[in-house]
Amino acid sequence: MTTEEKAEWFDVATRFSLGANINLVMKSRKNGKSMWAIIDTKNNKVFNSNFEWEDEPSSANLRDEAFLIRTRFDFETATNQYQQFKMYAEEG
């Protein structure tokens, strides 16, 4: 598979499994920029920039700007956040 073909697959991917019930999910895409969230699907929690799990509001209109800033990341930041969390969790 060429790099271009891989990029096409990546562009349409919206969810990656990180563990048993943990997924990296594309939540929005505007102007070619995707925003991702780390979601615990079993407990309906979302990972935030403070390295904590918080409730994912059931309705989009309950997600204020502060919530989105804490819980939505570009792909690289999201994967780095999760890697750091895993290292910290494994040490503790």
Q: Is residue 11 predicted with pLDDT exceeding 90? A: no
pLDDT band at 40 (very low <50, low <70, confident <90, very high): very high
pLDDT of residue 87: 83
Q: Is residue 92 predicted with pLDDT exceeding 60? A: no
Q: Which of 92, 67, 71, 66 is nearest to 82 (CA)?
A: 71
The sheet carrying 53-55 orders its strands as 15-17, 22-30, 33-40, 45-47, 53-55
Beta strands in the chain (DSSP E): 15-17, 22-30, 33-40, 45-47, 53-55
The pLDDT tens digits of the residues spanning 55-79 come to 998 888 889 999 999 999 999 999 9
Question: One-letter amino acid identity for 75?
Answer: F
pLDDT of residue 8: 67
Q: Is residue 17 predicted with pLDDT exceeding 90? A: no
Residues in the chain: 92
pLDDT of residue 24: 92
